[in-house]
Structures are given as structure tokens and as C-alpha cells.
């Protein structure tokens, strides 16, 4: 099966829009990779993430804000010959983004980012209490680099 590089930002953004979560890669205190799934929103070249006010990821992002975000969708196991292990493959599309995570401190900016996150998951109108907005951490990652791949998908399937 052929791998295709996704070259247009709209094509890569379409992959991001279909994903229910992203994998966030950061570096822990020992310099080792630390990768976790996180809910997100994407708008205008920025990925928004949220977390509680404390914990490992907060400590890691504060100390080393460079992150790698991975989005992947459309997974389908395919094969040419069911009895031949080497003929199996996985159709999928993926996008990888790199950038710096920074805390969003302004309450209105946080409220806007949280609204974007909720719209990614539901069409229901959602509000946010002031204590909830103050308590949650919102992270902004301006995408500095975005690359994408399509694995095994035919052009008509893109």
C-alpha cells in the first residue's frame, strides 16, 4: 500500500477535525519522552489543551514547553491475502504538529478556548462558571510545523 504525504494545510486540518483526542508528547524531568492523550480544540493554527492545575504534565510543560502533537484517524485493517501475515496493513491518516505550549492566563481567552473545545465535541450550548475557568489550566500551542501522511488510502478515499 502506498503512503502519501499530505501537503495542504486544509487537508491536514480535515484530519485533525475528525480526531476525538490527540497524543501530546513532552519531556519528563529525567529527559525521557512522556506521551499522554488529551482532549483538544484546533482553530487558526492553534491547538488548545486543558488540564487540572497540578500534576506531572503541568510540571513538565512549565519546565520544557516544546511539544509534539499527533492526530490519527480512519484506522482500518486491510490485507491482500488473509493467510499471509506480511500482506496485512493499516489504512489511516495522521498529522503531527510541533510547537511551544504556553499557559493561557486571561480569563476571557480561556473561556474562548474552552468554548472551542466544547464545540469540537458537542453542538450543545455550554457555559462556564468563573470558578471553573479560574481553576482549569488551558494550554495554547501555536503550530510551528505540521506534517501529514495517508497510509494506504486511495485518492478517492481522501
pLDDT computed for residue 154 by the predictor: 47
What is the value of pTM for the model shown? 0.88
pLDDT at position 155 over 50? no
Q: What is the mean pLDDT of the chain?
A: 91
- Got the DSSP string for 21-77? -EEEEEE-TTS-EEEEEE-EEEETTEEEEEE-SSSHHHHHHHH--EEEEEEEEEEEE
Kindly indicate the confidence band of residue 157, based on its pLDDT and cuts at 50, 70 and 90. low
**What grid cell was written down for 71?**
492526530
Mean pLDDT confidence for 41-64: 96
Amino acid at each position: 500500500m502506498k503512503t502519501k504525504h499530505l501537503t495542504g494545510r486544509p487537508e491536514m486540518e480535515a484530519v485533525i477535525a475528525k480526531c476525538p483526542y490527540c497524543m501530546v508528547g513532552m519531556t519528563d524531568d529525567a529527559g525521557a519522552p512522556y506521551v499522554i492523550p488529551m482532549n483538544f480544540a484546533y482553530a487558526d493554527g492553534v491547538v488548545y489543551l486543558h488540564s487540572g492545575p497540578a500534576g506531572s504534565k503541568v510540571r513538565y510543560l512549565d519546565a520544557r514547553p516544546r511539544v509534539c502533537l499527533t492526530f490519527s484517524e480512519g484506522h482500518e485493517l486491510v490485507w491482500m491475502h488473509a493467510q499471509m501475515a506480511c500482506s496485512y496493513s493499516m489504512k489511516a491518516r495522521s498529522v503531527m504538529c510541533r510547537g511551544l505550549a504556553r499557559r493561557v492566563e486571561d480569563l476571557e481567552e480561556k473561556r474562548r478556548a474552552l468554548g472551542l473545545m466544547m464545540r469540537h465535541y458537542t453542538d450543545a450550548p455550554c457555559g462556564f462558571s468563573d470558578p471553573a475557568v479560574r481553576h482549569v489550566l488551558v494550554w495554547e500551542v501555536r503550530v510551528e510545523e505540521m506534517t501529514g501522511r495517508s497510509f494506504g488510502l486511495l485518492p478517492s478515499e481522501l
